[in-house]
Amino acid sequence: MKLQGLILLLTGLVFTAGPDLISQTQHSVDDMLVSTDWLEEHLSDSLLIILHQGMKTEYEKEHIPGARYISIFDLLVENEQGLRHELPDEQQIEQVLRSYGINTHSTIIICYEDGNAIPWASRLFLTLDYAGLGDQVAILDGGLTAWKKEERSLTKDVPAFNDGKIDIRIRENVLVYKDEVLANLHNDSVIMVDARPPERYYGTEPDPNSSRSGHIEGAVNIPFFSLKNDDHPYLFKTRDELRRLFEDHQIQAGTTLITYCGSGIWASPVYFAARLLGYHVRFYDGSFQDWGKDESLPISKSKF
């Protein structure tokens, strides 16, 4: 084929590929944590899906235009070992995501209702990351609280949508299990991060998820609430503040983090923040409820 003919053919392909293909690059997530300005600018994007995480009664009163209500409990199960807040199997995850109208090329923004919902929104991010969608997902910094404080548009209208068409790709390396945690307790390049409040970390307050108190031996303590902005707890700390927080616990570039809590919810914001900062991070979904019930596994009540 002559060069001129090839150029004409390629030009024709670009303009006949259809709006979905062309818009894929236009609707990509710029960052894992997006601003209210970014979201308002992209509200009309055809591939954008906003998932509202919070109480349904509050969602029904007002929400960001186009936002779809989601319950994180649709994506949490109790497993055969009696562990709460575990990830469902691949089939259930895929079915739930389809029910929310998520497609293969969707850009997904998670909007949390207020600062109290940050752990649940982060757990949703973790689930989507595990499902292979992490590069297409972001959290709205400040959530609905920031959106309302800035007097941006709100609605009571519930959007109509069809079931999505998506085949997820599970990323097994997101998760870690207790045998692997045990094998890395004395690995200097791996740091366990306990996201519970200090009282539970030190064992001065019992953890209802376990008959034993304390923390996984060698773990450092970064409570989930310490990731929030000190003056405006509906916002995350800045990246520089988050990095200093991690570095204060000897977490440097090249370190692998394994984050856990009591039952896998409070550890989710730490997982999200670590991903945001570019750390290699994995998630112990069984968390202390799994570790603590095994009397053969070491626990401590002293600082790392």
Domain extent listing, the chain = 16-149, 175-300
Distance CA 235, CA 142 (A): 4
Residue 118, both tokens:
């940050």
CA-to-CA dists, residue 259 to 66, 129, 214, angstroms: 33, 15, 15
Helix (H) / strand (E) containing 222: none
What pLDDT is attached to residue 146? 98
Per-residue pLDDT of the chain (304 residues; tens, 9 = 90+): 433 443 333 333 333 333 332 333 333 466 999 999 999 999 999 999 999 999 999 999 999 999 999 999 999 999 988 999 999 999 999 999 999 999 999 999 999 999 999 999 999 999 999 999 999 999 999 999 999 999 999 999 999 999 999 999 999 999 999 999 999 999 999 999 999 999 999 999 999 999 999 999 999 999 999 999 999 999 999 999 999 999 999 998 999 999 999 999 999 999 999 999 999 999 999 999 999 999 999 999 987 6
Closest CA to 49 of 64, 59, 32: 64
Closest CA to 112 of 159, 152, 161, 72: 72
Question: Which 3 state secondary structure label does DSSP give 31?
Answer: coil
Output the DSSP codes for 235-262. SBPPHHHHHHHHHTTT--TTPEEEEE-S
Q: Look at strands 48-53 and 107-112 and give their pairing.
A: parallel
Distance CA 106, CA 114 (A): 24
Output the DSSP codes for 87-141. ---HHHHHHHHHHTT--TT-EEEEEESSGGGHHHHHHHHHHHHHTT-GGGEEEET
What pLDDT is attached to residue 43? 97
Tell me the residue type at 193.
Answer: V
pTM flag (> 0.75)? yes
Pick the CATH number of 16-149 from 3.30.420.40, 3.40.250.10, 3.30.70.20, 3.30.565.10: 3.40.250.10
CATH architecture of 175-300: 3-Layer(aba) Sandwich (3.40)
C-alpha gyration radius of the chain: 21
CA-to-CA dists, residue 232 to 11, 142, 276, angstroms: 50, 9, 20
CATH fold match for the domains 16-149 and 175-300? yes
> What are the phi and psi torsion angles at 117 (to 5°)?
-90, 0
Distance CA 192, CA 292 (A): 15
What pLDDT is attached to residue 80? 86
Maximum C-alpha span of the chain: 78
